[in-house]
Amino acid sequence: MQCPDCGAFADKEDTFCGECGRLLSPEVPADEPASPSEIPEPSERLPSPSPVAPEPVKRSSQPRLLILVGIALIVLCLCAGGALIWWITTGERAAGPTSGGPELGDLLYEEDFEDPATGWTESSDEDTSAGYTNGQYRIAVYRQDYMAWGNPEPGLELAGFSLEVDVRQVDGPLDNNFGLIFRLQEEIEDFYWFQISGDGYYAVALSKEDDWSSVLPWKGSDAVNQGLGATNHLRVTCSGNQCSLYVNDTHLADMADDALSSGSIGLAAGAFDEPGVIVHFDNLKVYTLQE
């Protein structure tokens, strides 16, 4: 062995270095196991390293694709639902143009009101007036809750027909009624009245034996042009007890009523709470219906 201080060599049995006198301790063999007392207690051990977290599994692109497809289907359903709602809410007033319904036959009667001698009613008093004016037929109502009407002389005896006219309110409140009279029984003054209002409503009333009744109650329609100066094209087509109503080439409604089966035609206007309603009519035509 060699002295750690002076480097002198000594035998293993020597206790002290022969040169410097340093105490020489015997070495513990490297392969000799440590005593149990030298093993650190578990509490003194360093913690074991945490296990490495596994790499997250990547999501497949399929779920994302399914989500996008689902969103697209929802949007498509909403659009289809909106279109269905629109069709339901507007289908009644957009059921068909003037060309729908029974086929028209010959032009049976026509009036442009250019000639005051064609025989339509002419009258005037403090409550109403009716007559020709500037190539149109004018009806005015100056009394509250009142109406006025005019008709041709001689009258027409019609069963199946198509009757149409252009009508325009020129003065007065929009809360009113004006339109076509049909199946008029002149001697007893029974008739149907297809009427619209200046604020966008339509109805059919029956005057029979001096009593009024509602065949079709008032109902609003976007097809009716509103306001002073607005022109509306009215049309009523009747065959038997079935009649169809149109405004501006839009089908409004159908009615079935047996009270009157035939008669003549006329034009009418009325006022409700506020008088002063003035309405002009023009381009009246009556067609037969093809069998």
| pLDDT above 90 as % of the chain | 62
CA–CA distance, 149 with 89 (Å, rounded to integer) = 34
If pLDDT is split at 50, 70 and 90, which confidence band does 54 have?
very low
CA–CA distance, 27 with 244 (Å, rounded to integer) = 125
Classify domain 104-289 at the CATH superfamily level. Exo-inulinase; domain 1 (2.60.120.560)
Beta-bridge partner residues of 202: 196, 219
CA–CA distance, 125 with 10 (Å, rounded to integer) = 158
Residue 172, C-beta contacts closer than 8 angstroms, at least 6 positions apart: 141, 198, 271, 274, 275, 276, 277, 278
Task: List Cα–Cα distances, 24 to 18, 110, 139, in angstroms.
Answer: 10, 147, 144
Q: Is the pLDDT of residue 67 over 90?
A: no
Q: Where do the domains of the chain lie? A: 104-289
pLDDT at 272: 96
Half-sphere exposure of 250 (CA within 13 A, CB side): 15
**pLDDT per position as a tens digit, 140-170:** 999 999 999 999 999 999 999 999 999 999 9
Residue type, 176: N
Lowest mean pLDDT among 65-79, 123-137, 275-289: 65-79
> With contact defined as beta carbons under 8 Å apart, do 234 and 220 qualify?
no
Q: Is the pLDDT of residue 53 over 50?
A: no
Bridging pattern class, strands 242-247 and 211-220:
unpaired
